[in-house]
Amino acid sequence: MKIIMLGAPGAGKGTQAKMIADKYGVPHISTGDIFRANIKNGTQLGIEAKKYMDQGMLVPDELTVKILLDRVSKDDCSRGYVLDGFPRTIPQAEVLENALNKIHDQIDYAIDVDVPDENIINRMSGRRACLSCGATYHVVHVPPKAEGICDRCGNELILRDDDKAETVKKRLVVYHEQTQPLIDFYTKREILRTVNGTVDMNVVFEEIVKILGEKA
């Protein structure tokens, strides 16, 4: 069971990816994690990737896919995996597809967690974080007992720059320009499945489980 998670930043695709991985006993793989692991372990692929990252450059798609294929070749991926954060663009999707075809493999599902932009802006701009202990809150959904104060350690809560409405809007513009075309890409390959990401995360997960039941 090989799955790609799609969705705008803040749509909750990472949470769903972790829930899928836990239920089905397959790895949740993000490109950021495997980059860090390769660099930490000093692998040849990690050394190559670090050259680009140290210069503030994006790691080329071909190298990213090499690192990804190396990861999915591990024993723990024998029953499948969930990709989170890759591919982000059509060229990345094409490089990945071609690489998988060469080893007679393919993605089973691309699952799009669909949430309107307005909902995402409200979700993310309502987040508050404690820099001291790492606790996170939401002013509407998970508010602290005392406004602006962390329940755990009593320190001040902040709105991170990444969660400010103007920053979120910019990220959504990039998403719609670069990543949303993947929806058409995977629709043409008849593997796209869309779930409503505006409802409770457990309801979203139930819908995903139904979809994956098609392959189970």
Residues annotated as catalytic (active site), given as ranges: 13, 88, 127, 160, 171
Whole-Å CA distances, 199 to 12, 94, 115, 207: 11, 32, 9, 11
Question: And the tokens for 171?
Answer: 């990220």
- The separation between the first and the last C-alpha atoms of the chain, rounded to the nearest angstrom, is 8
Is the distance from CB of 5 to CB of 13 less than 8 angstroms? yes
Which strand ranges, in their side-by-side order, compose the sheet holding 28-30? 28-30, 81-84, 2-6, 109-114, 192-196
Is the distance from CB of 93 to CB of 87 less than 8 angstroms? yes
What type of residue is 166?
Answer: E
Alpha helices, DSSP H, located in 25-163: 31-41, 44-54, 61-72, 90-102, 117-125
What is the rounded CA–CA span in Å between residue 29 and residue 36?
12
